[in-house]
A and B are shown apart, each in its own frame.
Chain A
């Protein structure tokens, strides 16, 4: 009988330094490099704090979408959700509703959108890629219809605070939301029973179902949370821009999914880390910020971001196949 060792290694992680670890090393190296090359602009609170602010709404959605993706699904409708939420918020404010009520309604709207996606994916049993491409059109189309295509100022003390307020007068509120959401999702995914179910379902839904896990419920809740978070993201973006417009969030799904994938989440489900997602979106964001500081044209930035995505994921694969070769 061989000795059974309990190691602290998480499921799916085998190498000595995890991929997430490598990613954070890459991040630190890039950060140091950029601080030097991009001096004096890059490494300054004047630059980094707004960067994090602008990242916050993408980050929180990425964190929750990671949960959905680990469970083997995907949600393409997040961008549409943001657009619809932004228009809804501006419209309701223009009707004179109090800010707190608008926030509640917006989050409920997100919950409804998420629940609808979840309904399609679990109850009806539609492939979530195509279901959420469909709802992406629906949400954004409703946003356009609500606003009649116009952007609307969305100013109100409560809404302003969400994206532009400060906690204790120093910490920007979006960054607070960002940190809170990441901590919560980290706890759920890595320490909780719910997270275990998510990983199990992503790995083998059939076996999970036959082990008494309510697969549909777990998946449904994932979509629900994703909807709520996307509308929270919509609220933040509305506040950051002081404007509700149906274009808000356009194309963000690919940005967010790139970040998640860069963070090591597998598309088929079962594999992925919240910290990886954090590192992934930070890297993409830092890259954009630095290259823009360096006056690089957008299409070069695109080339760099695409290459980084391929290179980093290539590193994962090479590491993994090395591990296998040693086999």
Chain B
């Protein structure tokens, strides 16, 4: 066999992803914020940053799986809101549901809604953005059935679930995110299911022709997303100490921003968890950095937007060579 002309390595392929740009940018951000305020580069601050993006990180895990397979899920914020309010209500004295059962119910709710999304998308064949735009509204509406309840969280376990630290340094939530990301990354790399996601996202027709059970896998991705919404919902009520029907509102846009920034292709078939993690750090640090820099409240949105546009523009320019002609 002749020697191939082009040799490939994983590292070369890594260099083509937006991740290096993101890492570079994050380093610049760290330098600027650290110069601006000595309190930026501290354990205390990073604990906070990590806890602050915990919910987004968990939701990102799910939406990423969905997006890799070419899907989309705008209902994540609503699903986590629903899980949160229902779990919080069930924890009230008048119901007194035991903690393990709360987890079970939360997960069942999240996964069921995910399943419904998946069924509508695959069996009826509605575009996922539209489906979940619809369910986003529907589920949020349902959350308000409990608007008059006013559950506060006294359950010590649930309280600790999203708030505690290991050795007063590492937030539990960070462990969750890292564990989720690693498990998912392994699943993506080392299972047929994971590889099939890339195939489906890359070219659905091809996947069908290759005999991959496309519909079933797609449904599973929405269930997975629903599962992570459950965790996120529990994290929300844990971190906020109460349940409210509006929790998680607008999360979809934030999470979408994060995963796309992290290099997940909107059409599917492309993305890695490392990039998403860096994107989480970047988005998580922008708000924090602006507090550190004492940017006036009204200007913060501008700075956030400018940073976002900057990051993606740099990445686009860096990949100029791969840029399409049109």
Contacts and interface: CB of A to CB of B under 8 A. Distances in A.
Question: Do A's and B's CB atoms come within 8 Å in the complex?
Answer: yes
A33 to B, nearest CB: 21
Which of A138, A298, A320, A321 has its CB near the most chain B CB atoms (within 10 A)?
Answer: A138
Contact of A137 (B136, B147, B308, B323): B308
B303 A141 contact: yes
B129 A138 contact: no
A215 interface: yes
Contacts of B127: 261, 266-267, 313
Interface stretch (A143-151, A222-230, A235-243): A143-151
Nearest to A130: B260
A195 B313 CA distance: 29
B206 interface: no
B317 interface: yes
A143 B300 CA distance: 12
Interface stretch (B9-17, B89-97, B118-126): B118-126
Size bracket of the B interface: 35 or more
Given A129-B260, A141-B305, A303 B313 contact: no
A277 B147 CA distance: 34
Given A130-B261, A142-B302, A306 B130 contact: no
Contacts of B138: 302-303, 306-307, 310
Contacts of B309: 120, 126, 131, 134-135, 138
Nearest to B139: A306
A301 B127 CA distance: 23
Contacts of A303: 137-138, 141-142
Nearest to A306: B137
A136 interface: yes
A129 B306 CA distance: 15
Contacts of A120: 309, 313
B301 interface: yes
Which of B134, B147, B323, B325 has its CB near the most chain A CB atoms (within 10 A)?
Answer: B134
A248 interface: no
A137 B305 CA distance: 5
Interface in A279-327: 297-303, 305-307, 309-310, 313-314, 317-318, 320-321
A267 B134 contact: no
B244 interface: no
A221 interface: no
B39 to A, nearest CB: 24
Contacts of A267: 127, 129-130
Contacts of A148: 298
Interface string B305-325: 110110011001100100111
Given A126-B313, A148-B298, A306-B141, A138 B305 contact: yes
Contact of A206 (B129, B131, B301, B326): B326
A172 interface: no
A257 B252 CA distance: 15
SS class of chain A's interface: helix, strand, loop or mixed?
helix
Given A130-B308, A135-B309, A267-B129, A140 B301 contact: yes
A201 B325 CA distance: 13
Nearest to A117: B309
Interface in B230-252: 245
B130 A313 contact: yes
Which of B267, B296, B309, B317 has its CB near the most chain A CB atoms (within 10 A)?
Answer: B309
A297 B147 CA distance: 12
Contacts of A140: 301
A28 interface: no
Interface in B129-162: 129-131, 133-138, 140-145, 147
26 contacts: A124-B316, A125-B316, A125-B323, A129-B260, A131-B309, A133-B256, A135-B305, A137-B304, A137-B308, A138-B305, A140-B301, A141-B298, A145-B302, A215-B326, A254-B133, A258-B133, A268-B267, A303-B142, A305-B137, A306-B136, A309-B130, A309-B137, A310-B120, A313-B126, A314-B126, A317-B125
Interface of B: 120, 124-127, 129-131, 133-138, 140-145, 147, 245, 253, 256-257, 260-261, 266-267, 296-306, 308-309, 312-313, 316-317, 320, 323-326
Interface of A: 120, 124-127, 129-131, 133-142, 144-145, 148-149, 201, 205-206, 208-209, 215-216, 254, 257-258, 261, 266-268, 297-303, 305-307, 309-310, 313-314, 317-318, 320-321
Given A127-B266, A145-B298, 20 more contacts: A124-B316, A126-B316, A129-B266, A130-B260, A130-B261, A138-B306, A141-B301, A141-B302, A216-B326, A258-B133, A261-B127, A261-B129, A261-B130, A303-B137, A303-B138, A306-B134, A309-B133, A310-B131, A314-B120, A317-B125
Q: Which 8 A-B pairs have the closest CB atoms?
A: A137-B305, A141-B301, A306-B137, A141-B302, A138-B305, A299-B144, A215-B326, A303-B141
